Amino acid sequence: MFLGKVVGTVWSTKKSPDLEGVRFLLVHPIELDKEPTRSIVVVADRLGAGIGEVVMCAYGKAARTAIGDQDMAIEAAVIGIVDRVDVQDTPSDDLRATAQELRTGDNGRP
């Protein structure tokens, strides 16, 4: 599992038949105690996450289980929309700062 911020959507009019009706998002993974990653992950979303929101994502079998179809041709999926992140007793200033940033505001909701 990983936390990430939704930075965009993917639109595809032609795709594998098992992916019909599935929404796809671009998610930037959050590394809590390191430099931000440069990678972007395309994830399936059935929860309705929006741009700017922080989400929990899973890979592989866990992602397909969350979507509800083990035969679906996906590798990653949103499994939760984060309300807040609390971190305690860590020596990492970066980790505390990132958690504080995730805790403030309303997770990008309008």
pTM of the model: 0.78
- How far are the Cα atoms of 39, 41, 48, 62, 85 from residue 109, in angstroms, in the given order? 24, 21, 12, 26, 16
pLDDT digit of tens for each residue in the chain (110 aa)? 999 999 999 998 888 888 888 899 999 998 766 565 678 999 999 999 999 999 999 999 999 988 888 888 899 999 999 988 777 766 666 666 767 776 655 555 54
Handedness of CA 4, 26, 78, 1 (dihedral sign): negative
- What the block records as the tokens of 13 is 């009019």
Q: Chain centroid to CA 43: how far?
A: 7
Q: What pLDDT shows up at residue 91?
A: 67
Residue 61 CA to residue 59 CA, distance in Å, equals 7
- Fold of the CATH domain 2-103: OB fold (Dihydrolipoamide Acetyltransferase, E2P) (2.40.50)
Per-residue model confidence (pLDDT) at position 110: 46
| Segments making up each domain of the chain, as ranges | 2-103
